[in-house]
Structure 1
């Protein structure tokens, strides 16, 4: 219906699956929207149709993105550890930055024309995905392995990584910052919080109020206790876990399906979050 907002996210095209975790189309209604963006460990290639694409670097705290009334936004969410190779520069130079795509890629004018002339937002998103797939360069396999170890359902600790990957802590930090934009410890904090957010979104999707238990979710997602979760949630998102739960429920009340964003943070094949505890290497 005219004047209403919509948000549709889904898995990326197969050619982009190794680089991106999801893609989306957002259409804003008659009022402008200040959308909160939460750290997720990767960057985002996004475009308000009619404008040039922009690259959002990895966030270390929540920020807001203003979308004009009637605007349509398409976007690609990059996986953690991908940004440095895609942008062709150290990713830590892009941390907490929102930069014009033309500052990163010289050949972006043709893409801007393609997006502006696309018949539908879906067609424009196809062009944006194709560009991201073409721009992907060789990734750092060591950082990829570190990211896999730090996924929230694995329960991996940053302190275990140097021994696990046979590298010094200093070298690991340097390579992680170059590829992902943040250090190992910061990436762990962000992915752990994303594990909690995934747990919240899965619960909202099931509409199961009896399942809500913040203290249990804190332990399941790797926090010491609920107070620890509260401190980290306020630091990274700016609100308490309870407020985040309420806001997520309200935002999804109109039927938005966020499975594409939260399922990668759950144990593969499991509909809910269960932490997998693994022994720390001696």
Structure 2
């Protein structure tokens, strides 16, 4: 099972945060739903820093429905006041129903047309669920999942193959190289690259780098007695220096500094 804090750089700083599984009927469309809720004292803020999964997210909050693309760098959001969001980490099979070219959304986001009847229905039903008392998160997820099922429709073999690509690159015992991933899927490396760009917007190599960084961050937080060289070797980096360069480039912080800060 994927570590629930993978991708979250400072879990101890999170407000109330939940990851909920997708209902079985939507399991091919959503990896999981995530629901933060916060109530920050007036005049203060809470910065949440993320090295996000290489995937698209569909997010509903009190104001809008937003589709966010895959990212190539660390991102953050400053939370203020009182609020909530319900996000769906999309599996590749859901992407084509929401955007024609996911590469155009890399490191960006766009609101879905609120005037469209189905988008307005999604927003209204999730807002109503989140304000409905005990069990509100589960009700919001069920509503959200049902909307995605109707929007996407029948899942075909190409979409399932795209999901398999994500599993091979990001799941447990994931491939260490694009060549290994292509071999597991019985496709050429070029086909693998086309699939990744069409359904995620990033290259397979970029997805592999992101997974390794996420896993490195988790191990630095949770395995304080393991040296960085050992972590680098276990994750397929050429050496300790390679891990340090990758970490510094994407996160803007040295691994040893991150390890010290995350354990305060």
User: TM-score, normalized by length of structure 1?
Assistant: 0.72
| Aligned position for 1:186 | 206
1:117 correspondence with 2:128: yes
Matches within 5 A, 1:153-172: 153-162=173-182, 165=185, 167-172=187-192
Provide the rounded CA distance (Å) in 1 between the counterparts of 2:186 and 2:47: 44
Provide the rounded CA distance (Å) in 1 between the counterparts of 2:50 and 2:15: 17
| Aligned position for 1:27 | 37
Aligned length: 239
Provide the rounded CA distance (Å) in 2 between the counterparts of 1:77 and 1:104: 24
Bigger mean CA offset, 19-28 vs 97-106: 97-106
| SS at structure 1 position matched to 2:211 | helix
| SS at structure 2 position matched to 1:107 | helix
Matches within 5 A, 1:1-282: 5-28=15-38, 29-30=40-41, 31-48=44-61, 50-79=62-91, 81-82=92-93, 84-102=95-113, 107-118=118-129, 119-120=132-133, 121-122=136-137, 123-136=139-152, 138=155, 139-151=158-170, 153-162=173-182, 165=185, 167-200=187-220, 203=222, 209-210=224-225, 212-249=226-263
Instruction: Provide the aligned C-alpha RMSD in A.
Output: 2.9
Whether the 8 Å CA contact 1:16–1:132 is kept in 2: the answer is: yes
Distance apart, 1:218 and its partner CA: 1.5
Bigger mean CA offset, 119-128 vs 92-101: 119-128
Provide the rounded CA distance (Å) in 1 between the counterparts of 2:255 and 2:152: 35
Whether the 8 Å CA contact 1:83–1:181 is kept in 2: the answer is: no
User: TM-score, normalized by length of structure 2?
Assistant: 0.76
Bigger mean CA offset, 155-164 vs 50-59: 155-164
Whether the 8 Å CA contact 1:83–1:180 is kept in 2: the answer is: no
Distance apart, 1:65 and its partner CA: 2.4
Shift of the 125–246 alpha-carbon distance from structure 1 to 2, 3 Å rule, reads farther
Distance apart, 1:111 and its partner CA: 1.3
| Residues 208-244 of structure 1: per-residue CA shift (max 9 Å, x gap) | 644x432212211221222211111222223222343
Distance apart, 1:164 and its partner CA: 5.3
Distance apart, 1:8 and its partner CA: 2.1
| Residues 87-114 of structure 1: per-residue CA shift (max 9 Å, x gap) | 2422212211111022897620111111
Whether the 8 Å CA contact 1:41–1:58 is kept in 2: the answer is: yes
Distance apart, 1:22 and its partner CA: 2.3
Whether the 8 Å CA contact 2:30–2:94 is kept in 1: the answer is: no
Provide the rounded CA distance (Å) in 2 between the counterparts of 1:104 and 1:55: 15
Whether the 8 Å CA contact 1:153–1:221 is kept in 2: the answer is: no
Provide the rounded CA distance (Å) in 1 between the counterparts of 2:94 and 2:220: 27
| SS at structure 2 position matched to 1:61 | coil
| Residues 251-273 of structure 1: per-residue CA shift (max 9 Å, x gap) | xxxxxxxxxxxxxxxxxxxxxxx
